[in-house]
Amino acid sequence: MHETKVKSILSAQNGMNMYRGCTHGCIYCDARSTCYQILHEFEDIEVKSNTAELLEQALRSKRKKCMIGTGGMSDPYLHAEKQLKITRRCLELIDEYGFGVAIQTKSDLILRDLDLLKSINRKTKCVVQMTMTTYDENLCRILEPNVCTTKRRAEVLNIMREEGIPTICWMTPILPFINDTEENINGILDYCKKAEVYGILLFGIGLTLRDGDRQYFYSKLDQNFPGMKEKYVRTYGNDYEIPSPKSEHLMKIVKTECSRNNIICDASQLFAYMRLFEDKQAGRQMSLFED
């Protein structure tokens, strides 16, 4: 872990990442790709030490309230967050200044900040997004070894439901020949239905592989699934998009179950929902893109 000071924290679309790199160890992580120009070891987390200061400046200067997004590139609840509490401080500021938040994670550490999530959601909107890829607990420990398993993440979603906080499941990526099975998809869907998630986000059944990400993924396939790398190479070569041969069939299952249970699975609709600021006190709505 090392600290750095950055010049700005919010993107043009009001997203932010407090950290760079990750310690969750997911074997498929796209953030390892060389295109993101992480110049340090991926597990040597870069901590943006002036995040809270920059965020407060940004929130003060905004003419209109909006949704603040985090977790798109680096999980806001890495192991370091337990001690550093940068994410918690950011949520305190978002709550204090009356903004909304859409936060994505794989970690149950988010429950530490449930008080702030509830406070934000009372005034505007707090959307908790939880990534769930693998119903089988033992397989989950291989694919996502250093973070809580899917069963625990489902428990987090249930707690959010009980508190009236809307949730979205990121059912991605699904790895061809590994967890692209009806049993896996139906298991995750059962968790989502019980938690009454607002939506399920997925971009087909498969994953993407780029330089940096591909090499790490293949090394982990060699370690945990002998012969699987060769199957990937024969099937996909160096393709960026790696669709499951079962993609059409499994997507049909997801869409059917979502329709039956009033769960939104249209990605554009879900992103629009997360970007829409709702002022529950004044009954007004504003877009994330307003500034």
Instruction: For 88-115, write each residue's pLDDT tens digit.
Output: 999 999 999 999 999 999 999 999 999 9
Q: What is the pLDDT of residue 280?
A: 86
Helix ranges restricted to H, the chain = 51-61, 81-84, 86-96, 114-123, 137-143, 150-162, 182-195, 213-224, 228-236, 247-260, 267-275
Residue 285 has pLDDT above 70, yes or no: no
The Cα-based distances of 229 to 30, 162, 210, 263, 284 in angstroms read: 17, 42, 15, 35, 52
CATH architecture of the domain with residue range 2-287: Alpha-Beta Barrel (3.20)
Query: How confident is residue 39, by pLDDT bands cut at 50, 70 and 90?
Result: confident
* Residue 70 contacts residue 87 (beta carbons within 8 Å): yes
Instruction: For 148-196, write each residue's pLDDT tens digit.
Output: 999 999 999 999 999 999 999 999 999 999 999 999 999 999 999 999 9
Query: How confident is residue 286, by pLDDT bands cut at 50, 70 and 90?
Result: low
Which helix (H) or strand (E) covers residue 70, if one does? strand 67-70
Residue of 84, 78, 11 lying closest to 42 (CA atoms): 78
Q: What is the mean pLDDT of residues 237-245?
A: 96
Residue 73 has pLDDT above 90, yes or no: no
The per-residue pLDDT of the chain, averaged, comes to 95
Residue of 176, 188, 224 lying closest to 25 (CA atoms): 224
Query: How confident is residue 289, by pLDDT bands cut at 50, 70 and 90?
Result: very low
Residue 290 has pLDDT above 70, yes or no: no
For the chain, percent of residues with pLDDT exceeding 70: 97
